[in-house]
Amino acid sequence: MIDFTSLPRRNKAYAGANGSKISVLYNGELYMLKFPTPPTKTDGISYTNSCISEYIGCKIFESVGIPVQQVMLGTYKTEQGKTKTVVACKDFAVNGLVLQDFASLKNQVIDSERNGYGTELSDILDTFEYQTAIDSEELTKRFWDMFIVDALIGNWDRHNGNWGFLYNSQTDEMELAPVYDCGSSLFPQATSEFMKDVTTNKGVLHDRVYNRPTSSIAQNGKRINYFDFISSHQNYDCDEALKRICQKLDMEKIANIIDETPGVSDEYKQFAKTILSARKELILDFSLKQLQRAEALNVCNDELDELLEDTSSRGR
C-alpha cells in the first residue's frame, strides 16, 4: 500500500462525525485522508475496518457505473508512532465547486414539515418533486440507485448529510456529486469471531441479510428494512433501480475487487464475498424475480383482456 505519511498537508478541513480526516496533496492533486473510526463496542477491537469498507464500497459503486469518489488504500504513521490503514479520497470539490449535502437542498423547500436532516422517506421524495435546483428525474434515479447498492453492501448510514451536489458559485449551477462516504458498509466493526460465524453459520448469515443492517432512511418513523422494502415492490422508482443495478452487477468483478484489495486478510476477503453474495441472492435477485413474474403476469392479463374485448366486439 502507498505510504501517505510524508505527503504535503493542506489546511482544508472536512466535516463529518466518522473518524479523523486531513487534507494532503498526492501527485499534485488534493485528497482527503480518512482514518479508521474508533469502535462503538468494546468486544476486543481497537479500531474499525471503516477505511476498507469505504474503499470496497466505492469500488462496487464504480463497478455498476455510478459516479463515485476515487479512492486508494494506504498507510499513515501518526505522531505517536502508530501506523494506520487509511483511505485516500480524491477531493472533487475543487476549482470553485462547493459540496452541498442533500439536507441543504431539502432546507430550500419552505413548506417541508421536517428539517433537512429528517430522513422520513415521504418527505425526501416530496423534496425531489418540489425543489428546483436540479432535474427531479435525475435526482430520483440517483437516490434509488444508491439505495439498491447500499442494500447490497449493507450501508446503514446513508443519511441526508452524506450525499449531495456540487455547486458552482460562478454559474449558480448544481450537479450531482459523486457518491461518497461508504465507510458504514460491510460491517466495519466485524471481529474475527463474527466473520467466522457469518461464513460458517447460515442462521447468523441470514440474520445479517434479512434483519440487519437497516437503512438510515425511515418510513413512518421506523428505519427501513432493506429486504422488506425492496421485495414489497411498493415504489416504482425503486423497482426500476433494482432492474438497472441488477443488470450491471457482476459478482465475479466484485470478487476480484475484494481479492485485489491490499492489506486485508484472507479471512476478511472470504467474509466480504460471502456476505455480498448472500445479500445479492436473497435480497436483490429474489426481489427481481418476483418483479419479473409480476410484470409477466400483467402482460398476460393485458393480452387476455385485449383478446376478450376483441372477441366481444366481433360478436356484436
Average pLDDT, the chain: 90
pLDDT band for position 195 (50/70/90)? Answer: very high
Tell me, what's the pLDDT at 308?
58
Report the sign of the C-alpha dihedral through residues 227, 236, 175, 61, in that order.
positive
83-116: pLDDT as tens digits: 999 999 999 999 999 999 999 988 887 555 656 6
Tell me, what's the pLDDT at 113?
60
Mean pLDDT to the nearest integer, 8-32: 90
Residue 18, pLDDT > 90, answer no
Tell me, what's the pLDDT at 112?
57
Candidates 219, 244, 223; CA nearest to 142 is: 244
Mean pLDDT to the nearest integer, 18-34: 92
**CATH class (in words) of the domain with range 93-296:** mainly alpha
Tell me, what's the pLDDT at 79?
86
Residue 62, pLDDT > 90, answer yes
At 69, which amino acid appears? Q
pLDDT band for position 163 (50/70/90)? Answer: very high
Note whether 81 and 212 are within 8 A (CB): no
SS3 category, 245:
helix
pTM given for the model = 0.91
Q: Where are the domains of the chain?
A: 93-296
Mean pLDDT to the nearest integer, 15-44: 82
Mean pLDDT to the nearest integer, 57-73: 98
Distances (CA, A) of 51 to 34, 48, 54, 58, 143: 7, 8, 5, 11, 23
244-290: pLDDT as tens digits: 999 999 999 999 999 999 989 999 999 999 999 999 999 999 999 99
Transcribe 181-226 into DSSP letters. --TTSS-TT--HHHHHHHHH-HHHHHIIIIISSPPS-EETTEEPPH
pLDDT band for position 33 (50/70/90)? Answer: very high
Note whether 22 and 86 are within 8 A (CB): no
Tell me, what's the pLDDT at 115?
61
Distance CA 291, CA 231 (A): 8
The backbone torsions φ and ψ at residue 22, rounded to the nearest 5 degrees and listed phi first, read -130, 160
